[in-house]
Amino acid sequence: NEEDIKKPRGKKLPVKGKKTVLVQEVVTPVAVPAAEAAPPAVVNHVTAEADAQPVRRRPKLVLLKPAPAKAKAPTPLPQQSPNKVTPVLDKSTFVPQSRSNRTSPVGIHVSQPVDQTARELAQNEARPATWNDLYWALIGSRNLPNDEAKVKALFSWLCSIPLDQDAFVTHEELDEGIKEGVEFAEEAKKAKAQPPSADSPEVVVNDLTRGKSTYLRAFESLCRYSNIPCRTVKGLAKGVDYTVGMKLTDQPMPPEPGDNSAIGRIQHAWSAAYIDGKWALFDSMWAAERLAMSANARLSQIAQLGRMEYETDMFYFNADPAIFIHSHFPFEPEWQLLDPPLSLQQFQSGVLLKPAFFTHGLGLFSHQDGVIPVQNKLIVKLSIPPSLVKVLLFTFNLKLDGKSDMFEGVNLSRFGMHEISARDALITFSFRFPKAGAYKLTMYARKVGEPLFTDICEYRVEAKGTEDDSNSDATSNPGSISIPPFPPTSQSHYGPTEKAAELKIQTVPSDLEAARKCTGGVFEVRFATVDQAVKLPRMTARLKSLLHDAAMLTDCILVRTVDASTCGTVGSVKSGISQSTTGGPMVPMCVITAYLPSAGEYALEVYGAPPEADEDTSYFLVWQFMIDTDYGVRLDTPVRKRLSTINLGPQDSSWSELKLKTVSHVDPLIHVPTKGLAGLRKARSKNELLQQFNKQAQRLDKERQGIPMEDTPSTLVVSSGDVEEKLESVEEPVGPRSCDLKIVLEKPKTNQLCIVGQLVDISEPKEEVGSQCMLKAVVY
């Protein structure tokens, strides 16, 4: 008897469709826009009550084939006494309470699949006329092996029936059907000659579709009339009226009828059925009210159509007591089916965990309480099953006072970031809170390839602010931001995106964390393909920060492709090494170097495109890094402004067509540890450089032809004098060690090539093209 229980509004139900698809920002390799893209809000739940009087429809009459004459449904069991449990509870079947501890993953929860035959029967246009006909179709004709299978058929059918029509054909419909000659109408009329009992499925389920009964009563009726003991369990449920941090322990329990206290608002009732020798827990209402929506559908659009379709959430069928207790707390402790039972205080203080938290096998690594007091920063960690580290994607939603996700015109998603550590099997969320107050923090997850995020858990964060805030604008102006957001990025997730997996790329080393500490003002990261048979994609990058203009940061990135060993290193600019330091097979790598102009936080967004893509193709976000540097590289002018492109190394197909290879420097970004070693003087002009190049080329040609040479040195010389004077060389030999940089290239022996180099000083505001220092010109 549940008249004293306020009809529950249900849980916050996972909406299969009204969820945010992770946005992959697309950019072109040139003129990358600086506008930031705030992550869209995630809306994952139905929060409105279902209409108590749904719009009725009158479907075409099609009758389910009647049960054979000899087939009879079981004799219904009597209703369970409120004071006596039959069969009695057996504590030896209870689940250890320790299993409800979610500090670490305890296994991925796999819900049983819906009984597809029962679901199709519920949604088919053919409807039963009597309970006997339905029982035969659901159970009697199928030779189901045990009680659990029988109850699953009943549960799946009940949770799948449309609520805008009667589930059982009425007498009025049969009278019309007989007139119209509908098949089985006369047989059904005879079978319904005896009026059904008021508690029979024929009456209770039809009342459910008319808004006069509940899923709870309907499920109990179906079970009792199938010879399955079933009873109502009353208690509290963390549904739509529940908020994290709600006080429950200071109020009487169970509450008085009509009580509008916190406990009164979250009253709920669910079912316990005795199957295969033990009691099990079911919530048919929560299972039935999950919206089934396509990935592109919007809740408002579905509502305008006037009809919502639902799917059965089997998470609430024969629920695991250790999981069920996180959302359902019975007034009678024994109906937890836990040993020992959980206390009300533990239920009150616990994190609000959703079904997807368990189906993904997650664990509460850092915070086990739902309410978290902080100053103005927070780090929350969840553990992930190692098998799902590269499969799960996450996001979050942050709301101030549980209402708005905006503050001072800034989306609160800008104040959070997260990254997955494959090495530790953890997801780490980092948050900053710009204003003192209470925040509602909801986290979401989905698997790679799935279009929709589903909520996994919810916290309440109570930010107090810092002592320094008393001396800041936050005191004089309560609306001011007391702590800056993270750098503006395409998304809050740092690390690889789904596109990284599609392009088959990984960092070197592969377990490189996305949050990096930089001490030298220069950050460098390398990428290689997971499969060496796959060609390295085209890649580019951009730098973002609140400290500098976006256009200025565009000039602080260099990208190049090198051949290096994955088990070694390609030295960074700071280290002064520009060669592979360890042996092993050489593979193509993309090396990205970011020059950080000043101390502070930067976000590095890395973009990729298929290797066969042309220059005008779109690039997709493949990786994000958060860089914190305590030192900046003070450049007189940004690096890239002196270069023709962000990319170093081969600039077109000529390099590969000529079959050239680097021998001395695999990395085109070279650190030279010395300068002015030989005391070389500047050439007077580019003409002088070219004349000396041609002169040396002629000399080498004569040597190959055996023509006697004049008594002149065969090595490159450096001339002196003013540009205005007539070109008269005073030649001085240059020894093998009298240079600061020597670059050696390899070419096919059969090719005769002329190669000339040009050195340009870009360190000064005014560059001197081609004549700052001499390069040794070589003729092959």
Set out the domains of the chain in order of their start, with CATH numbers: 62-350 (no CATH), 353-476 (2.60.40.10), 498-644 (2.60.40.10), 672-780 (no CATH)
Buried b (16+ CB within 10 A) or exposed e, 261-300: bbbbbbbbbbbbbbbeeebbbbbbbbbbbbbebeeebebe
Q: What is the pLDDT of residue 269?
A: 97
Q: Could you give the angle at which helices 215-224 and 201-209 cross, rounded to 10 degrees? A: 160
φ and ψ of 84, to 5 deg: -140, 125
Encode pLDDT of 216-250 as tens digits: 999 999 999 999 999 999 999 999 999 999 999 88
Helix, strand or coil for residue 459? Answer: strand
Q: What is the pLDDT of residue 65?
A: 95
* Percent of the chain predicted with pLDDT > 70: 73
Say how far apart CA 405 and CA 401 lie, in whole Å: 9
Q: What is the mean pLDDT of the chain?
A: 80
User: Is 758 within 8 Å of 773 (Cβ atoms)?
Assistant: no
Q: Which tokens in the block code for residue 514? A: 């996305």
Residue with the larger pLDDT of the pair 471 and 327: 327
Of 247-256, 380-389, 452-461, the one with minimum mean pLDDT is 247-256
Q: What is the pLDDT of residue 676?
A: 61
Residue 93 has pLDDT above 60, yes or no: yes
Q: What is the pLDDT of residue 682?
A: 56
Alpha helices in 74-200 (DSSP H): 116-123, 131-135, 147-158, 171-180, 185-191
User: Is 684 within 8 Å of 721 (Cβ atoms)?
Assistant: yes
Of 35-44, 194-203, 226-235, 626-635, the one with minimum mean pLDDT is 35-44
Residue 501 has pLDDT above 60, yes or no: yes
Q: What is the pLDDT of residue 721?
A: 37
Range with the largest mean pLDDT of 307-321, 446-460, 464-478: 446-460
Q: Computed from CA positions of residues 167, 173, 178, 181, in that sequence, does the dihedral angle turn out positive or negative?
A: negative
Q: What is the pLDDT of residue 643?
A: 62
Q: What is the pLDDT of residue 621?
A: 96
Residue with the larger pLDDT of the pair 230 and 45: 230
Place of tokens 């007498």: 171
Residue 482 has pLDDT above 90, yes or no: no
Encode pLDDT of 568-618 as tens digits: 544 444 433 334 445 567 889 999 999 999 999 999 999 999 998 877 788
What single-letter amino acid sits at 74? P
Q: What is the pLDDT of residue 600?
A: 94
Encode pLDDT of 252-296 as tens digits: 888 887 788 888 899 999 999 999 999 999 999 999 976 544 444
Residue 480 has pLDDT above 60, yes or no: no
Mean pLDDT for 752-767 is: 69
Which element (helix H / strand E) includes 36? none
Of 196-210, 457-471, 511-525, the one with minimum mean pLDDT is 457-471
Tell me the CA distances in angstroms from 672 to 455, 488, 741, 758, one per residue in order: 53, 35, 7, 16
Of 291-305, 534-548, 729-743, 756-770, the one with minimum mean pLDDT is 291-305
Give yes or no for a cis peptide into 254 (omega within 30° of 0): yes
Encode pLDDT of 341-377 as tens digits: 999 999 999 999 999 999 999 999 999 999 999 999 9
Helix, strand or coil for residue 106? Answer: coil
Tell me the CA distances in angstroms from 608 to 323, 448, 588, one per residue in order: 42, 18, 15
User: Is 595 within 8 Å of 543 (Cβ atoms)?
Assistant: no
Count Cβ atoms below 10 Å from residue 588 Cβ, excluding itself: 15
User: Is 335 within 8 Å of 278 (Cβ atoms)?
Assistant: no
What DSSP string describes 220-282?
HHHHHTTT--EEEEEEEE-STT--TT---TTS-SSPPTT--SHHHHTEEEEEEEEETTEEEEE
Q: What is the pLDDT of residue 586?
A: 82
Which element (helix H / strand E) includes 584? none
Q: What is the pLDDT of residue 54?
A: 54
Mean pLDDT for 707-714 is: 55
Tell me the CA distances in angstroms from 224 to 71, 201, 273, 316, one per residue in order: 18, 9, 9, 19
Give the chain's radius of gyration (CA, Å): 37
Place of tokens 């084939």: 65
Of 211-220, 626-635, 713-722, the one with minimum mean pLDDT is 713-722
Residue 710 has pLDDT above 80, yes or no: no
Say how far apart CA 466 and CA 463 lie, in whole Å: 9
Residue 772 has pLDDT above 70, yes or no: no
Of 250-264, 418-432, 437-451, the one with minimum mean pLDDT is 250-264
Mean pLDDT for 111-126 is: 95
Q: Which tokens in the block code for residue 178? A: 């007989």
Residue 9 has pLDDT above 50, yes or no: no
Mean pLDDT for 69-96 is: 93
Residue 773 has pLDDT above 70, yes or no: no
Q: What is the pLDDT of residue 550?
A: 87
Q: What is the pLDDT of residue 689?
A: 60
What single-letter amino acid sits at 7? K
Of 43-57, 558-572, 645-659, the one with minimum mean pLDDT is 43-57
Encode pLDDT of 609-648 as tens digits: 999 887 778 899 999 999 999 988 866 555 556 665 678 8
Residue 35 has pLDDT above 50, yes or no: no
Q: What is the pTM of this model?
A: 0.79
Say how far apart CA 570 and CA 581 lie, in whole Å: 7
Instruction: State the maximum Cα–Cα separation within the chain, in Å, rounded to a whole number.
Output: 127
